[in-house]
Amino acid sequence: MHIPETVKTYGLIALIIACSFWFAARFIEPTPPKEITIAAGAVGGDYYRYAEKYQKHLANEGITLNILETAGSLENITLLEEKKADIAFIQSGLATEDNSEYIEALSGLYFEPIWVFIRTDVFSGIDLQKLKNRRIAIGKVGSGTNKVARQLLELNKMVDDTTLLEISGQNAIDALKKGTVDAAVFVAKPSAATIQTLMHDKSLHLLSFDRAYGYTSTYKFLSKVTLNEGVIDMAQNIPNKSVPLLSPVAQLAAHKDFHGALKTLLVSTTMDIHKDATLLSTKGQFPTLDFIDLPIASEATRYFTYGPNILQRFLPFWLVDMISRMVVMLIPLLGVMLPLIKLASPTYRWRTRSKIYKWYKSLKKMEETANASDADLDEILAALSKIDADVKKTIVPLSYADELYNLRLHIQMIKDHVERNKHP
């Protein structure tokens, strides 16, 4: 079966380009997964509620988010390490240097202050050290509350002389009301239902961290924030004076191997969900890369620095990812494709003319042989006839037909010359 020369030439170029695409594809990320998992926190807590908001937001982009109920930040770190979760909420100050090898921060989300509520029949002072030899609920094992409570107590050299109960949530509230603990530590947003309830309970007193800057100079992950007078309840003037508090920051973190495009999508998601003002921050203060104590993902740095690109502003996630992947492949391939396209036309001309010109070497040799005195002219004529027959079978485009006919004319001229030598 005859294959046109154009098909051979441009088919070869197409094959080279296809192989280049295959080679380039090996160096780009696979397509993003359609299903991911977040390590959140206890059902009903801030982390879990935000995970549900993320779930709805990501569903609009075609991504299914599975939510894991956990004891808190420390368990979340473990789940990330074991790759049982792709992303997680992590309270600042909990990750170690070893954790930083596989965890990256995507965004700081909001202040979540440390609240120490004390029974008013115990004392209503302003110093944590007054709780020495008392009973304190410090949160569940595996929670960020437990870890930061121990850090503050250790700094005040109180751990050995204080009874620590590892309970949290409603259990800690019930223990406070029953008097089985003298104080309880919580880490949560001011708007959390637990905090609102405790702030309105007249039998409890909120500890004021008047030595806040002393703590923040030791623990860099903590910030001093102020709960202003009346912000919880203006009608009842709760609190009745401004209270300095210590606050870590809630962070959204991901495993370093998590898909880069999804990291960018999640940073964008935090922008939509956490942009509003809170009782402790102004509008636009969060999300942020300030207060972060984990290595920051390059995708997060790029997004916070330059914002969404033109495609991300107007196109759905799946289409942006597809275009981005194509661009990543096309840019290096342009270096291969452009020279090939420029070479295609000369290569086509050369291959077509080579079908014609390849006979001239044989013709020249036959012409020279025919002039020799001992030449076998019948053999030369037979060879010329065979060449002529082969040339007749040669197919070339019409634009090269004149060169083919010139070749046949030259063959006939040599045959005539040989005939004259044969019959002088």
What's residue 161's pLDDT? 87
Tell me if 32 sits within 8 A of 259, measured CB to CB: yes
Q: Where among 247, 277, 305 does a domain terminate? A: 247
What CA–CA distance (Å, rounded) separates 355 from 7? 16
**Structural domain count, the chain:** 2
What's residue 126's pLDDT? 65
What's residue 371's pLDDT? 74
Residue 5: pLDDT band by 50, 70, 90 thresholds?
Answer: low
Q: Does 181 reside within a domain?
A: yes
Average pLDDT over residues 310-322: 77
Structure-block tokens of residue 400:
């090269």
What's residue 124's pLDDT? 62
What's residue 13's pLDDT? 64
Partners of 108 in the beta sheet?
251, 288
β-pairing verdict for 249-255 and 103-111: antiparallel
Residues 241 and 366 both lie in one domain: no
Q: What is the per-residue pLDDT across 348-385, written as a single tens digit (0 to 9) for each?
A: 677 777 777 787 787 888 877 777 666 677 787 888 78
What's residue 324's pLDDT? 73
Q: Does 236 reside within a domain?
A: yes
Provide CB contacts within 8 A for 78, sequence distance 6+: none
What's residue 398's pLDDT? 76
Nearest partner of 167 among 200, 145, 152, 134, judged by Cα:
145
Angle between helices 360-370 and 401-422 (to 10 degrees): 10
Tell me if 157 sits within 8 A of 132, measured CB to CB: no
Strands (DSSP E) contained in 182-242 are 183-187, 204-206, 223-227
Estimate to the nearest angstrom the gap between the alpha carbon of 228 and the chain centroid: 39
Q: Where among 247, 263, 298 does a domain terminate? A: 247
What's residue 267's pLDDT? 97
Nearest partner of 201 among 217, 186, 223, judged by Cα:
186
Its domain, for residue 233, covers 113-247
User: 256: burial class by Cβ within 10 Å (0-12, 13-18, 19+)?
Assistant: middle
What's residue 377's pLDDT? 76
For 157: left if phi > 0, alpha if psi spans -120 to 50, otherwise beta; the answer is: left
Q: Does 136 reside within a domain?
A: yes
Q: Does 52 reside within a domain?
A: no
What's residue 346's pLDDT? 76
pLDDT at 2 over 60: no
Q: Does 265 reside within a domain?
A: no
User: Mind giving me the DSSP string for 55-71?
Assistant: HHHHHTTT-EEEEE--S
What's residue 358's pLDDT? 80
pLDDT at 175 over 80: yes
What CA–CA distance (Å, rounded) separates 109 from 132? 33
What CA–CA distance (Å, rounded) separates 387 from 20? 41
Average pLDDT over residues 173-182: 94
Average pLDDT over residues 63-85: 95
Least confidently predicted of 3-17, 122-136, 275-289, 393-407: 3-17
What's residue 356's pLDDT? 75
pLDDT at 15 over 80: no
CATH number at residue 173: 3.40.190.10
Nearest partner of 227 among 201, 214, 204, 246, judged by Cα:
246
What's residue 376's pLDDT? 77
Beta carbons within 10 angstroms of residue 394's beta carbon: 14
CA distances from 5 to 345, 348, 355, 403, 408 (A): 11, 7, 10, 16, 21
Q: Does 394 reside within a domain?
A: yes
Q: What is the mean pLDDT of the chain?
A: 86
Estimate to the nearest angstrom the gap between the alpha carbon of 83 and the chain centroid: 16
Residues 238 and 118 both lie in one domain: yes
Percent of the chain with pLDDT over 90: 54
User: 196: burial class by Cβ within 10 Å (0-12, 13-18, 19+)?
Assistant: middle
Estimate to the nearest angstrom the gap between the alpha carbon of 291 and the chain centroid: 22
Q: Does 293 reside within a domain?
A: no
Q: In one letter, which amino acid is 317? A: F
Q: Does 21 reside within a domain?
A: no
Q: Where among 224, 247, 270 does a domain terminate? A: 247
Backbone angles phi, psi at 238, to 5 degrees: -115, 125
Residue 399: pLDDT band by 50, 70, 90 thresholds?
Answer: confident
